[in-house]
Amino acid sequence: MSRLVVVSNRVALPNESRAGGLAVALQGALREHGGLWFGWSGKRVREPSDALHVQEAQDVSYATIDLTHAEHAGYYSGFANRTLWPLLHFRLDLVDYSRETYAVYRAVNARFAERLAPLLRHDDVVWVHDYHLIPLAHRLRELGVGNRIGFFLHVPVPSSDLLAALPSHRELFDALAAYDLVGFQTERDLGRFQSYVPLFGGGRVVDRGTIETAGGRRFRVGAYPISIDTALIEAQAADAFGRAPVQRLRESLGGRGLVIGVDRLDYSKGLPERFRAFERHLERHPELRGDTTYLQIAPESRGEVPEYQSLRRELEGLAGHINGRHAAPEWTPVRYVNRNFPHDVLAGFYRAADVALVTPLRDGMNLVAKEFVAAQDGTDPGVLVLSRFAGAASELPEAVLVNPYDVDGVADAIAQALSMPGAERRDRWAAMIERLRRDDITAWRRRYLAELRAV
């Protein structure tokens, strides 16, 4: 069988501890077929370097290149995360566009392609991941690469009007035509992209799975909802529940219920709105006050971006305000933690929680929602409160679905979840876990790669 080549901004190197389920899934695919994982090393250097860092482990090669400080600033911190990230999360008000950072973004993609092309074999299947690398295949084609190349977008797709607000939108999204198969998280994302194509992209939708550009190039598109390693999360949660970190957390609660949130520190996650909703829950349901503690774990990400620095200050202020107004000598309503925990410990925390708040303003999928469900004890499961605007909502309709902008609605959903009868909790959980066991991350990547190979 042909070799698989994975390309992503960051590479999960074999000597690094990576918690993400995606990394595990991609490594599994690479080991299954033999292959190569290519991307940025994570290192920033002063001067441009053509050095290629290569490691080998279990029939997989890992090849990385360094970025200069200027490349990182323009490509990663700049266009990828201050232009594309807010645009694709419906936040046009936060888009910071400049021709300079766009030029660096394209130049880094070109350099990725130029360093990758000589490593490819004629029958390799190439799988490119996420918004950092949209133009990559276009440059590979210019270099004469004729391999099957697929692309998967892990983040949402906004409405066509928002996509068209990007000054360089035609050039950027036309580059997707160089791929053979473009995958999106949900049918809604696919539909929004297919609305954009005839309105602003100059192409046409041939059928539900085929797009034709103005130049006549056809490529396939589809929805491939990403999932988790369900069996692994179930096993981790059961094992971690009796271990010291989880036991210390449970003991510290003093018999109170636990509401948990676990998110990267990002404005797309709706954390200020969630904090306000929990405070409104305390106000609207005084009979439950003092019975529950809300633990929000939010590791810092992209700390050099001003919007993220501002968000952290806002959350610190909100946590202090809520605790100052509502705490008692023996009880602190909000615990706000800015640090990472090992993945198995988080699985134990999920199992210990009565309620999970997963309320992003917009999310491509949100795997925390799925991991929380997988971590539960089926005899006494917790309740998932889930934003309608997370991709996971279409797969987990048995969760308590909320509008994250509706502070009162989320407040009432917390109370509903905390007081939900055991039989209802078990019925909701059983429907969700059955789906997650069937459609796990291995099924996701096998389906995508099978369809890419069939193009």
- b/e code 173-201 from CB counts within 10 Å (16+ = b): bbbbbbbbbbbbbbebbbebbbbbbeebb
Please state the domain count of the chain.
2
Three-state DSSP state, 101: helix
Q: What is the mean pLDDT of residues 346-375?
A: 97
Residues 187 and 93 in one domain: yes
Give the pLDDT band (50/70/90) at residue 26: confident
Residues 44 and 116 in one domain: yes
Three-state DSSP state, 84: helix
Residues 207 and 103 in one domain: yes
We report the CATH number of the domain holding residue 222 as 3.40.50.2000
pLDDT of residue 301: 76
Q: Work out the end-to-end distance of the chain between its first and last CA atoms, rounded to an integer number of angstroms.
A: 16
Cα–Cα nearest to 13, from 33, 35, 37, 30:
37
Q: Which is catalytic among the residues 180, 363, 412, 440?
A: 363
Q: What is the mean pLDDT of residues 133-148?
A: 98
Residues 19 and 34 in one domain: yes
Q: What is the mean pLDDT of residues 361-366?
A: 96
pLDDT of residue 98: 97
Give me the phi and psi of 331, to 5 degrees please: -150, 130
As a whole number of angstroms, the distance between CA 54 and CA 90 comes to 38
- The whole domain housing 304 covers 230-438
Residues 50 and 151 in one domain: yes
Residues 102 and 195 in one domain: yes
Residues 47 and 145 in one domain: yes
pLDDT above 90 (res 307): no
Residues 183 and 263 in one domain: no
pLDDT, averaged across the chain: 95
pLDDT of residue 182: 98
Whether the CB-CB separation of 411 and 284 falls below 8 Å is answered with yes
pLDDT of residue 20: 61
Residue 363 a catalytic site member: yes
Residues 187 and 250 in one domain: no
Question: DSSP readout, 325-361?
Answer: HH-BTTB-SEEEE-S---HHHHHHHHHH-SEEEE--S
Give me the phi and psi of 286, to 5 degrees please: -60, -25
Residues 58 and 160 in one domain: yes
pLDDT above 80 (res 423): yes
pLDDT of residue 454: 94
Residue 122 a catalytic site member: no
pLDDT of residue 305: 73
Q: Which is catalytic among the residues 33, 96, 154, 321?
A: 154
What DSSP state is assigned to residue 77?
A: I
Q: Quick: pLDDT tens for 197-207.
A: 999 999 999 99
Q: Quick: pLDDT tens for 283-306.
A: 999 888 899 999 999 998 766 778
Cα–Cα nearest to 400, from 371, 359, 435, 349:
359
On the CB side of 418, how many CA atoms lie within 13 Å of its CA?
Answer: 24
Q: What is the mean pLDDT of residues 339-350?
A: 94
Cα Rg of the chain, angstroms: 23
pLDDT of residue 17: 56
As a whole number of angstroms, the distance between CA 116 and CA 22 comes to 22
Q: Quick: pLDDT tens for 175-212.
A: 999 999 999 999 999 999 999 999 999 999 999 899 99
Residues 302 and 348 in one domain: yes
Residues 371 and 245 in one domain: yes
Burial class (CB in 10 A: 0-12, 13-18, 19+), 307: middle
pLDDT of residue 205: 97
